[in-house]
Amino acid sequence: MPQGQVWEREYQSPQLLTKKAEPQTDTKAFLKFVRKTEGVVLENLQVLDLGSGTGRNGNYIAKLGNQVIGLEISPTAVAIATERAEATGVNAEYHVANFGAKYDFVDASFDLAIDVMSSNSLNEKERAIYLSEVSRVLKPEAHFFLKTLCKDGDKNAKNLLKLHPGKEHDTYINEDMGLTERVFSREDLTALYSPYFKIQRLMMKTNYVRFGGQSYKRNYWLCYMKKTKLES
């Protein structure tokens, strides 16, 4: 089943995803870093939310006084995000789109971007486009937050890679959902992103997720990045 159909089915009948409207604590921690450590005023920014889901992060950022554009492959998720944005009166718009394809934005048009547990379901061709496009549309010195699946020290990830391997490097198939996901070692993640961005912080976080009535211990990468400044 195509990944877009997988996500549409998941948003219609959630098994793994939450129905919460509140922003993720990891997103709030990144915004605190940008504000306090980087000295960025979190107002009047153009923000790109990649894999925006039901708008829980995008609408929060918009509520701070920013303009948010979200790209999401599931029409159901886009409808929920849009309804929530309109209900709260924030400046956020959401579009049905694959963010692993070319973007319809001009160069250097965004001050900040977030990718919270989204790009790990892209295939390698889509990932290459995504990296190039995010770099292209971010302004020099713009900030980028990535939360993604971690391979290092994650026994469940290694079991999934062994028992249900995908076709591409370090991918497995979540057979309950029909979803292919990529996990990243520190070395692979650094090699992928460092040609485009300066990695400011790369932290591992452990959390428990519930699926199918069971709880699983998983590791995640929290990566704070800045767009590499263009050479004069």
pLDDT of amino acid 10:
86
Task: Look at residues 161, 158, 145 and name the one whose alpha carbon lies nearest to residue 203.
Answer: 145
State how far the Cα of 71 lies from the Cα of 103, in Å rounded to an integer.
Answer: 9
Domain 3-13+22-150+184-227 bears CATH identifier 3.60.70.12: no
Amino acid at 137: V
Per-residue confidence of the chain (232 residues) as pLDDT tens digits? 677 888 888 888 887 777 778 899 999 999 999 999 999 999 999 999 999 999 999 999 999 999 999 999 999 999 999 999 999 999 999 999 999 999 999 999 999 999 999 999 999 999 999 999 999 999 999 999 999 999 999 999 999 999 999 999 999 998 878 889 999 999 999 999 999 999 999 999 999 776 556 677 899 999 999 998 654 3
Q: What is the CA radius of gyration of the chain?
A: 17
Sign of the C-alpha dihedral computed for residues 183, 28, 224 and 118 taken in this order? positive
Sign of the C-alpha dihedral computed for residues 108, 39, 197 and 21 taken in this order? negative
Q: Can you read off the two tokens belonging to residue 111?
A: 């001050």
Place of tokens 């900030």: 143
Task: Look at residues 114, 113, 125 and name the one whose alpha carbon lies nearest to residue 180.
Answer: 125
What angle (nearest 5°) sits at the alpha carbon of residue 158, between those of residues 152 and 163?
165
pLDDT of amino acid 232:
38
Contact 157, 149 (CB under 8 A): yes
Contact 144, 133 (CB under 8 A): no
pLDDT of amino acid 44:
98
pTM above 0.75, yes or no: yes
